[in-house]
Structure 1
Amino acid sequence: MTKYRVIFGYFSELVTVDEPTTDYGTILDLAIDQLESDGNMGVFVSDEDIERDGITDDMYITGGNHGLNLYHGGNFMIERVDE
């Protein structure tokens, strides 16, 4: 098992995968799905929020099974966590 920390804004989500990977899209999708499953919906912005508030596309990233917009405010990184 390999762990990755997805850092977004002032928050992070720990994701575990079976094998080390460089497929960061999959890691991001897993993190977004975990956040949604855990009910942490406050980290997402809607399409309406983006348009109304003028949120630029370098401030959020879209992913997960439901195409949710994860707000990161320009602070986004995925790092491998060695244990």
Structure 2
Amino acid sequence: MPRYFLHLRYPASEDGFAQDDEGDELTDLDDLRQHVVDTARDLMRGARLKAIPDWLRCSFEVTDEVGTVVLTLPFSEAVK
């Protein structure tokens, strides 16, 4: 099963990037997209990272095991 890494881009911070070194194994790109949407919603709902004032400006940049970007999802697309 392929492993994907959900790197968080948040332009409101000086660092602006949080790298996912662990990754998640998902069966296909449809499952990946749903997982990324669910993860973005969870982060916004829980507001775990108080240093990020505007979640809607954030995005996930998802790469595969060799570092190729396979999906970019702005958090604004995860809002119901």
Smaller-chain TM-score bracket: 0.3 to 0.5
Q: Normalising by the residue count of structure 2, what TM-score does the alignment of the two structures yield? A: 0.41
Task: Compare CA radii of gyration and give the structure with the larger one.
Answer: 1
Asked which structure has the greater RCO (Cα within 8 Å, sep 6+), the reply is 1
